[in-house]
Amino acid sequence: MVGILEVKELTTGYGEKEVLKNISFDLKDGEVLGIIGPNGSGKSTLIKAITGVIPIWSGEVNYDKKNIDELHRRERAHIIGVVPQDTFINFPFTSWEVVMMGRNPYLGRFENPKKEDDLAVKKAMEATKTLRFKDQSVRELSGGELQRVVVARALAQEPNLIFLDEATSHLDIGHKLEIMDLMKDRVKQRDVGVLSIHHNLNLAARYCDKIVLLDEGKVHAKGSPKEVLTRAHLRAVYGIEAEVDKNPRDGSLYVTPIKRKVMKEDKEEVVHVVCGGGTGGTLLKELVEHGYEVTTGVLNVMDSDQKMADFLDLRCVTEAPFSSISEKTKSENLKLIKEADLVMGTDFAIGPGNLDNLKDLLYAAESGKKVVLLERTGFQKRNHVGSKGDKIYRELTAKSDVKIFTGIEEIMRKLDEGNI
């Protein structure tokens, strides 16, 4: 029989302060559910509420159609075992004794552990490779060893569901994977369900069948890792720019945080950047981080500047890979230039295919736009179309509203000072 934990519209908090609002999700035996979210989003509070450490304000939690809030603590402990983030034990209990505490919900007040309890403890300690220090004081164990003992305690509890409350966050990567692999094994073999709070998005992506993303006490997104771990969600909840790719080895997702999104005040100005071949990437990023609305074009698809524009979610006029600029894309680019308050041109290499980009800059200058040119290499070195290019460039640089800079930092400084 497959049991289902159903959390419906759960709302709770501490004292007067509401921490979680209307949280709903479900977890079946045989699944690993990840809970992710920034600090203070209510992840640990969720475990506390479901396990009855703090009261639920409204909503309900059912396991197999039974409201577990109405169960006795001991019965609830038959269903859910918890591995906390860390455990401090002041007295020198042996590892065996600590794991035996997992049998507490099965033992009467005056009952001593029976054979089956010893067996459950032994099996749990074998599974976590802790049996060899069963008679050692837990105070003599390393952090990783102690945490495995605590995992063994949860296993000895023989629950239907195991909750990991950031259980691996203090462990080194080897022990992290060891514990998560063990959980995954249990899920496969014995039909337990695992709910796991993760700070590490990649661990979540790798081990979880489903993920719930919490933000400020509410469910921001839930579903498969692919549905939840998107750049838009990560940007909205964590305020980071991240790349989400597929791990080529096992197909699991991995998240590479690039940069914390800079929350500078948004500026009104629109800057259009004409670039290409990697000459504009840094400039695009800087402009975005300084709060400008940035557009760009024309760029070939697969060009590294185009990738950056895509990554930054910019409006970008694109042309097919390695193709010359067509009439249609050119007119789109001119439209963006018209809408922009400021036009920038980088020191991209000029060939027959993108000569139009240089012409567009000239168009901007002629139509009265301020134009900023970034010139680090010198025009002759990047001009591969001979006199045609020279002529346009001369006209362009002769305009009074065109300024030339040799570095991005300088441009950004002048921009912020309002000197452009």
Partner 1 sequence: MIKKNTGWIIAGLTVLLLITAIYSATVGTADISFKEVVWITLSEVPLINRYVTAPEGSPRTIVVLIRLPRIVLGIIAGISLSVSGTSMQGIFKNPMASPFILGVSAGGGLGAAVGFFLGVSFFYLPLLAFLTALGTVFLVFALGRVRGKTDVATLLLAGLAMNFLMSGLTSYIRYMSPPDKMVQMQILSFMLGNLNEAAWNQIYITLPIMIVGVALVFAYSRDLNVIQMGEGSALQLGVDVETTKFVQLVTSSLLAATMVAFTGIIGFVGLMIPHGARLMVGPEHKRLIPTAALMGGIFLILCDTISRMMGEIPVGIITVLLGSPFFIYLLIRNRGDTGW
User: Which residues in this chain contact partner 1 in the complex, by CB under 8 A?
Assistant: 15, 48, 51-53, 72-74, 76-77, 80-82, 84, 87-94, 97-98, 101-102, 104-105, 107, 109-110, 135, 137, 139-140, 153, 157
Decide whether 14 or 322 has the Cβ nearer to partner 1.
14
Tokens of 375: 């010139």
Min dist CB 320 to partner 1, Å, is 59
Of 21, 2, 25, nearest to 10 by C-alpha is 21
Q: Which residues contact 284 (CB under 8 A, 6 or more apart)?
A: 273, 275, 294, 296, 305, 308, 309, 312, 314
Minimum Å gap between C-beta 300 and partner 1 is 57
CA 363/CA 383 separation, integer angstroms: 19
With tokens 């069948």, the residue in question is 209
Beta-sheet pairing, 161-165 with 342-345: unpaired
Beta strand spans in 205-251 (E) = 210-215, 218-223, 240-246
What minimum distance in Å lies between the beta carbon of 91 and partner 1?
4
* Minimum distance from residue 77 beta carbon to partner 1 (Å): 4
Identity of the residue, 84 or 353, whose beta carbon is nearer to partner 1 in the bound complex = 84
* CA dist., res. 330 & res. 276, Å (int): 15
Helix, strand, coil shares, percent, the chain, to 5: 40, 25, 35
Nearer to partner 1, 89 or 412 (CB): 89
* Cβ closest to partner 1, residue 32 vs residue 79: 79
Q: Which is nearer to partner 1, 39 or 91 (CB)?
A: 91
Nearer to partner 1, 104 or 282 (CB): 104
Rounded to a whole number of angstroms, the minimum distance from the CB of residue 167 to partner 1 is 12
Which residues sit opposite 211 in a β-bridge?
Answer: 34, 223
Neighbours of 37 (CB within 10 A): 23
Smaller CB separation from partner 1, 77 or 334: 77
Which residue, 38 or 52, has its beta carbon nearer to partner 1? 52
Q: Determine the Cα–Cα distance for residues 82 and 165; give it in Å rounded to an integer.
A: 7
Kindly provide the residue ranges of all beta strands, DSSP E only, lying in 226-365, ordered along the sequence: 240-246, 253-260, 270-274, 293-300, 315-319, 342-345
Distance CA 317, CA 228 (A): 29
Q: Return the number of the residue (104 or 230) whose C-beta is nearest partner 1.
A: 104
Comparing CB distances to partner 1, the nearer of 9 and 75 is 75
CA–CA gap between residue 210 and residue 30 (Å, rounded) = 12
From the CB of 94, what's the least distance to partner 1, in Å? Answer: 7
Q: 45, exposed or middle or buried, with CB in 10 Å at 0-12, 13-18, 19+? A: buried
CB of 195 to partner 1, least distance (A): 13
What would the two tokens of residue 10 be?
């759960």
- What's the rounded Cα separation, in Å, for the pair 40 and 44? 9
CB of 145 to partner 1, least distance (A): 13
Minimum distance, C-beta of residue 44 to partner 1, in the bound complex (Å): 10
CA separation for the pair 289, 292 (Å, rounded): 7
Please report how close the Cβ of residue 199 comes to partner 1 at its closest, in angstroms. 19
